[in-house]
Amino acid sequence: MIRYFVCVLIGCCLAAVIGPTAAVAQQESSAKASPAETKKKKKPQKPFRWVNPLPEHQIAGLEHATFDSRLADQAVGYAILLPPGYETSQQRYPVIYYLHGGRPGSEAKGVGVAREIVRLRGEHEVAPVIYVFVNGGPVSHYNVPASIGVPGQPDAVGADVFIRELIPHIDATYRTIADRKGRGLEGFSQGGRGTMRLSLRYPEIFSSVAAGGGGYATEKRISESPDSAESETLRFAKGDNTWDLARTYAARKDAPKLHLMLYVGTDGFNYENNLQYMQFLKELGIEHKPLVVPDVPHSATKIYGKKGLEIMRFHEASFARQRR
């Protein structure tokens, strides 16, 4: 009995000492589990710049350069990955333009994919290709008419700067195959949307097209909106979306055929709407190769980590087909 009372007394004293600490710990644990706290916080958006230097830890063969843009009224940056042996050869090479994800635009956003391409080149024998990593502009890879777009952003001409200025600059500066037979387009997420939209609008410019993880639900919302609106503050030109452009392309009798791939990871948040868009293309009669990557999230570098070689081989086969 005495031992019992001693234990109770000690227990009460310990409770008095550690009670507040335990209560605080419990509150902190509850706070950590709070839905408001567990929501992923968005990183503050960096201000848009037409020129963005690459990270200090450079990738072998990846270079940064600029050109003078009349449309942007300033210098515009891009990154370029030349194939091994470029400096010692005289041959001309196919070009793949890679459109980054996210907004606003930055040519430095393609560094992760460039690193994977260099790795795969080193591990496998792949036909030599030039890769150009594009700055997509203030509203990545979109033109935004000043009269219906974001007020104060009349320079949102990312698509035109790319199509009308960057491509001619690359063809004039590097030894490219300067026609659609040697010109490819690829991108992921926001860049996947841009890849589909620009290839369907300009099939005379591109032959090999690989669109990754595009947000086709958002594109569908733009298509169905009376104002071509993505949101309350962002509206585009009528028909400038992947759904309407696909209908227009399918109806064209003279449209050059695109060698088209759509790829997506099963754990990515755009997985289901990519399947829906693939079905839509099938119904329109637009041939494409689906590439579904199991157990991969919404990440271009992780998709390249698993299936990058298959994507590169796809472009390789596209360019070889054009040469026949």
Residue-wise pLDDT tens digits, 212-221 = 999 999 999 9
Distance of CA 52 to the CA centre of its chain: 17
Range(s) of the chain covered by CATH 3.40.50.1820: 62-323
> Does position 14 have pLDDT exceeding 70, yes or no?
no
Position 219 scores a pLDDT of: 98
97, 132 contact by CB (below 8 A): yes
Q: Which two tokens stand for residue 318?
A: 């596209």
Least confident of 139-148, 172-181, 257-266: 139-148
Tell me which long-range contacts 119-128 makes (C-beta under 8 A, separation of at least 24): 120/304, 120/308, 120/309, 120/312, 121/83, 121/84, 124/309, 126/309, 126/312, 126/313, 126/316, 127/94, 127/316, 127/319, 127/320, 128/83, 128/84, 128/85, 128/86, 128/93
Question: Whole-angstrom Cα distance, residue 118 to residue 108?
Answer: 16
Per-residue pLDDT tens for 86-105?
999 999 999 999 999 999 99
Under 8 Å between Cβ of 244 and 296: no
Q: Find residue 78's DSSP bridge partners.
A: 65, 134
How is residue 224 written in tokens?
A: 């169905």
* pLDDT range class, residue 11, cuts 50, 70, 90: very low
SS3 percent helix, strand, coil of the chain, rounded to 5, is: 45, 20, 40
CA distances for 152 relative to 11, 146, 234, angstroms: 68, 8, 12
- The one-letter amino acid code at 208 reads S
Q: Is the backbone of residue 132 left (phi > 0), alpha (psi -120 to 50) or beta?
A: beta
Beta bridge partners, 209, equal 185, 260
Under a CB-based contact definition with an 8 Å cutoff, are residues 81 and 93 in contact? no
Q: What is the mean pLDDT of the chain?
A: 87
The pLDDT of residue 203: 98
Which fold does the domain 62-323 belong to in CATH? Answer: Rossmann fold (3.40.50)
Q: Given phi > 0 = left and psi -120 to 50 = alpha, else beta, which region is 162?
A: alpha
For the chain, counts of helices (H) and of strands (E): 10, 10
Is 182 in contact with 96 (CB distance < 8 Å)? no
A 10 A CB-CB count for 100 gives 28
Q: pLDDT tens digit string along 302-311?
A: 999 999 999 9
User: How many Cβ atoms are within 10 Å of 109's Cβ, its own excluded?
Assistant: 25
Greater model confidence, 31 or 236: 236
Give per-residue pLDDT as tens, 264-292.
Answer: 999 999 999 999 999 999 999 999 999 99
Max distance between CA atoms of the chain, in angstroms, equals 100
CA distance 196 to 286: 12
Report long-range pairs for 249-254 (Cβ below 8 Å, ≥24 apart).
249/200, 249/203, 249/286, 250/284, 250/285, 250/286
Residues 199 and 185 sit within 8 Å (Cβ to Cβ): yes
Instruction: Confirm if 200 and 163 have CB atoms less than 8 A apart.
Output: no
